[in-house]
Structure 1
Amino acid sequence: MATKLMKALDVAFGHPRGKVGELGGRVMAKVNAKVEAHAVDVLGPTADETVLVVGPGPGVGLRLVGERAFKAIGVDPSEVMLDKARERCADLIVASRVELREGTAARTGQEPSSVDAVVSVDNLQVWDNRPAAFHELFRVLKPGGRLIVSAHRWALGVSEYDLIKEAEAAGFTEVRTSLQQHGGMIPPAVQLFANVPA
C-alpha cells in the first residue's frame, strides 16, 4: 500500500505526468504560491537580470520572475509542467521575457556564467544528484551571482548542514539556511542562500 501511495505521489508531484500530473500541478500552484512569492521577493530580480528558474512546475514563480527580470528561463523535466507553465506565462513568452525548455538542476542547458541568479522552489527533494546539481548551478551563474533554493522541510530527506556542505563543495560562498514559516496549512520551508564569488 505504501509503495502504491509513493508511486501516485511521484506521478502527481515528484515527476508529474499524465492527467494525475496535471491535477498535481493545480495543487502545486495553490499550495506553493506563497512560498514562490517569498522566494522571488527575497531573490529580488531586477530589470537587467537573467534568472534561471529550476523546476518551475506550473509556472507561478516563473511568472513572478518574468514580470520583474529582463528574462526568466525555466527548466523542468516534466512536459506536463512545461505545458502548464507555458499557459500561465503565455504573454511573457510572446514578449521574450520568459523562455521554457526541458532540463534539470544537473543539466540546465545553459552556457557557463550566463545567468545572474538561480531560484528553485520545492523540487530539491527530487534532484537526482544534488552535488552535481550544485556544481551545475555554480557553473551557469556569473561571478557575483546568487542562488536561492527553497524546499518543504518535511520533504528534504537530508540535513541543512549537508546541503550547506554540498553547496560549498561546488564553490558557493556565504552559504546559509533559514526556516521560513508561511502560516496556515503550508508547511515550513528551508531556504538555502548562496553566492558565487565576484
Structure 2
Amino acid sequence: MESITQRLLTKAFGRPSGLLGRLGGRLMAHGNAATELHAVALAEPGEQDVVLVVGPGPGVGLEAAARRCAHVIGVDPSGVMLAMARRRCASPIARGRLHLAAGSAARTGAADAAVDVVISVNNLQLWPDVPAGLTELHRVLRPGGRLLLAAHEKWLPADLTTLANMVRVAGFDPVRTCTWDPPGRMASTAAILSAVRL
C-alpha cells in the first residue's frame, strides 16, 4: 500500500498533477537546470537534427534543445508539465521549432527511424518498464542516432553497469557511462549514459 508521503511525492515529482505538480515543476526547473543544459551540450544536436526529449518536465532542456535545432519534440505523461513547458517554450513553439505531446519513453508517438537524438534527464527512474522504453527509443532513432540518458545517481533503477548492459541489449553500441557533479550545494550527482543506435 502506498504511503501518504509516496503519494505526495508522486503528485509533485513522479507524475506531477495539481498544485503539488506545479510546485514540483518549479523545483525541477531550478534543481535540474544544470544537468538538463549539460545533457543537451553532451548530445551535441545540430540545427538539422530531429531531437526527441523524453520527460522534459517544465522544459528547461527542451528550450535549450530548441535553441540549437530546427525540430524538437517533447513528450511527457503529465499535463501539468506539458503546460509548464508550453509556457517556457512559447517562442520556439510559435516558430514551429518545437512540438509537445502527451507520451512516455515506451510510447513516444514518433515514427520509425524519425529521430536523430534522444535526450532524457531525471526521469529514467520513473519509467514503469525500462526495457520497453529502451526498445521504443531504439525504434524511433535512425541508425547512428544518439541516445543520452541522465538521472540522479542515487535514484537509478539499476546500477550504471546493469543499465549499460540493458542499453546494449536494446541495440545500442558503443555505450559510455560517467558521473557528473552539477554546480551548487543542493545538486545531486548525475549518472550519464550515452549510446549510439546500431
Give the TM-score band, short-chain normalised.
over 0.9
2:182 paired residue number: 182
Q: Is the 8 A contact 2:124 2:157 kept in 1?
A: no
Q: Structure 2 length as normaliser, TM-score?
A: 0.97
- Structure-2 residue corresponding to 1:60: 60
Residue aligned with 2:3, SS: helix
Cα drift, residue 90 of structure 1? 0.6
Distance in structure 1 (CA, Å) of the matches to 2:154 and 2:70: 34
**Offset, 1:26:** 0.4
Partner of 1:70: 70
Mapped partners of 1:196, 1:149: distance in 2 = 13
Q: CA deviation at 1:137?
A: 0.3
Which stretches in structure 2 are left out of the alignment for 5+ residues? none
Q: Please list the CA deviations of residues 13-58 of structure 1 after superposition, one character each: whole Å capped at 9, or x if unmatched.
A: 0100011100000000000000001001111111111100000000
> After alignment, is 139-148 or 154-163 more displaced?
154-163
Deviation at 1:125, TM superposition (A): 0.4
Bigger CA drift: 180-189 or 50-59? 180-189
Paired with 1:152 and 1:132, the residues of 2 have a C-alpha distance of: 21
Question: For 1:1-198, what aligned pairs fall within 5 Å after superposition?
Answer: 3-183=3-183, 184-197=185-198
Taking the aligned partners of 2:6 and 2:15, their CA distance within structure 1 comes to 11
Inter-partner Cα distance in structure 2 for 1:176 and 1:13: 28
TM-score norm. by structure 1 comes to: 0.97
Q: Which stretch shows the higher mean deviation, 95-104 or 183-192?
A: 183-192
Unpaired runs of 5+ residues, structure 1, are none
Distance 2:88 2:101 in 1: 15
- One-letter amino acid of the structure 1 residue matched with residue 122 of structure 2: D
Q: Distance in 1 between the 2:39 and 2:157 partners?
A: 21
TM superposition outliers: structure 1 runs of 4+ over 2 Å:
none
Task: Return the alpha-carbon distance in structure 2 between the equivalents of residues 28 and 130 of structure 1.
Answer: 22
How far off is 1:130 after superposition? 0.2
CA–CA distance in 2 between the matches of 1:160 and 1:176?
10
Amino acid at match of 1:163: L
Determine if contact 2:55/2:76 at 8 Å carries over to the other structure.
Answer: yes
* 1:59 CA drift (Å): 0.4
* Letter paired with 2:88: R
RMSD over aligned Cα, in angstroms?
A: 1.0
